[in-house]
Homo-oligomer: A and B are copies of this chain.
Amino acid sequence: MLAREIAVEFPTVTLDTGALEAARLMADQRLPGLVVVDDDGQPYSVLPGSQVLNFAIPAYVQEDPSLARVYGEAAADRLGARLDAHTVRELMPEKPHELPVVQPDDTVMEIAAIMAGMHTPLVAVVEDGEILGVVTLTTLLARVLPPA
């Protein structure tokens, strides 16, 4: 079983995609993160969901979550407001996460070894600089585990 056989389509965003739009994409499609392509359309990084919150929540509140309580229930709206008018570029961590890349002909064992070694649930399948799709950890497990 090869990477090209188990790769699935996965939405990508660019560095110029709106932060709110990216957050909505994660929410609507229940994605743990997004694949980010650079200005040349080349696979660049993974944006984890927690990074979106990291951007939306002030640092002093992260350090002392009990402070969040003073915002009250309604203040959740501010999360969206904080994301509006920003881009994915601004959301990226200072040291962007490396996007693990595999070749279409890589075997399931090779993909599993990369996921295990890099502690990542997502690898991009790339051919000639173009993303053919991604393999997620759960897809991989579903394909290799023996039936119950």
Contacts and interface: CB of A to CB of B under 8 A. Distances in A.
Instruction: Give the top 6 A-B pairs by smallest Cβ distance, nearest first.
Output: A27-B141, A62-B117, A53-B116, A68-B109, A65-B113, A27-B142
A121 B33 CA distance: 10
Contacts of A61: 109, 113
Interface in A1-43: 1-2, 20-21, 23-24, 26-28, 30-32
Given A68-B109, A108-B73, A116 B28 contact: no
A114 to B, nearest CB: 5
Q: Interface size class for chain A? A: 35 or more
B27 A71 contact: no
Interface in A73-112: 73, 75-81, 83, 106-110, 112
A145 B73 contact: no
